[in-house]
Amino acid sequence: IDTDSHICLATFTDRGPKPDDLEFHEVAREAHSRHRFKALTGDVGYDGEHHHAFLARELKVMGIIPPRRGRPPRSRHHQPPTPFRGFWHRHWSAAEPLYGQRWQIETHFSMEKRQLGSCLCARRRYSQDRETDLRALVDRCDLAAIGAGCTHATIAGRHLAGSARYRANARRMRR
């Protein structure tokens, strides 16, 4: 999510439960190709020396990811032995204000679920993946239209979440 425009720069659809960091490099690369950002904020699940190194060396951006993943150290003075995680361990207090922007992704997820519902109507995996990608596209169109001065974005003459068929399918899936 771009913190200035609130537009989703990249998505990845997959099944869980599983760690999200497996697709981190692919999604970060895709987002960076769409918008040349200077810093990327991620939660503790993305803490790993290989992720920090990828962001710094390949994308040339600062990875603002708290160095807290794994077993807690016995001593509170223990520093991670790797260069990037050690750096963030020593300088994390300076990065806290930037890390505070992470709330925007959680707000994005909440807004999308509020507008489009929290369940998918599709039954097959391929269709569910397509519907998830369509939701991201609808959200981008919605934000672009609002940015252009429209008060409400529409797709094919009506808002997707407002269609009677969509609401009926969503109710049926919740049962």
So what's the pLDDT on residue 99? 82
8-22, 42-56, 65-79: range with lowest mean pLDDT: 65-79
Mean pLDDT of the chain: 76
So what's the pLDDT on residue 13? 78
* Better-predicted residue by pLDDT, 65 or 156: 65
So what's the pLDDT on residue 153? 39
Q: What is the pLDDT of residues 30-60, one digit of tens each?
A: 999 988 989 888 888 888 888 989 999 999 9
Say how many CA atoms lie within 13 Å of 160 toward its Cβ: 20
So what's the pLDDT on residue 72? 64
**Phi and psi (nearest 5°) for 106?**
-65, -40
pLDDT beyond 50 at 162: no
Q: What is the pLDDT of residues 116-152, one digit of tens each?
A: 788 888 889 888 888 888 887 777 777 666 665 544 4
Q: How far apart are the first and last CA of the chain?
A: 32
Q: What is the mean pLDDT of residues 90-96?
A: 80
DSSP state of 158: B
The SS3 call for residue 64 is strand
Q: How far apart are CA 12 and CA 20, in angstroms?
A: 10
Number of neighbouring beta carbons within 10 Å of residue 137: 14
So what's the pLDDT on residue 171? 54
* Better-predicted residue by pLDDT, 15 or 165: 15
Please say whether the beta carbons of 49 and 70 come within 8 A.
no
DSSP state of 62: E
